[in-house]
Amino acid sequence: MERDKIVNIIMVIMFGIFLQVIFVVGDLKETPNKVAAGFAEAYFKLDKSMAGYLCKTLISSEDAGIVDKYLQTAQNEATERGLAPDFLKSKLFNIETSTISKTDKEVTMRLTADRIVSINPLYALVSKLFHLSKIHKVEDTITVIKEDGKWKVCGKPFSLL
């Protein structure tokens, strides 16, 4: 009897580990929705990593350095308002995407989210939990294309252009 209980516990643990591996592998798969959400998070955090989400036509057009220009504009705006650039950073919550149109190589989707000021990660969490800061709605249409086997944000995302 005791041996059967131990075998059952070991089987349950092994099954749990197996499920966890399947969930992790499934989560690693790149989808247009994850790319759009990742870009939106980087965009509102004023994170330079947003350039990695953009398609070649946005990166190599005459607007070379489009991300740097956007970040410089944000810094200038903060300076004009007498703030540090961190005061313009935001954290997104409740990100939702819905597909408007889809082909094999292009997906147009609607992205909605709640945005809150995020001077630092702890500030955003505390201010959301205790309702210390105003929550702004974010809505935009984002086009994601398949480029060199990877999904990339293209078109005119938010006010980047």
CB contact burial 112-127 (16+ within 10 A = b; e otherwise): ebbbbbbbeeebbeeb
pLDDT for 24: 80
In single-letter form, the type of residue at position 33 comes to N
Distance CA 97, CA 36 (A): 8
pLDDT in tens, 5-31: 898 999 999 999 988 888 887 766 788
Distance from C-alpha of 69 to C-alpha of 90, rounded to nearest angstrom = 18
Exposure string over 58-87, b if 16+ CB within 10 A, otherwise e: beeeeeeebbeebbeeeeeebeeeeeeeee
Please name the helix (run of DSSP H) or strand (run of DSSP E) that holds residue 43, with its range, or none: helix 32-44
* The predicted structure's pLDDT at residue 27: 67
Of all residues in the chain, the percent with pLDDT exceeding 70 is 93
**Above 60 in pLDDT, residue 159?**
yes
Which is higher by pLDDT, 60 or 142? 142
pTM: 0.78
Could you give the CA distance from residue 96 to residue 79 in angstroms, rounded to a whole number? 32
Tens of pLDDT, residue by residue over 68-102, are 888 899 899 999 989 888 888 999 999 999 999 99
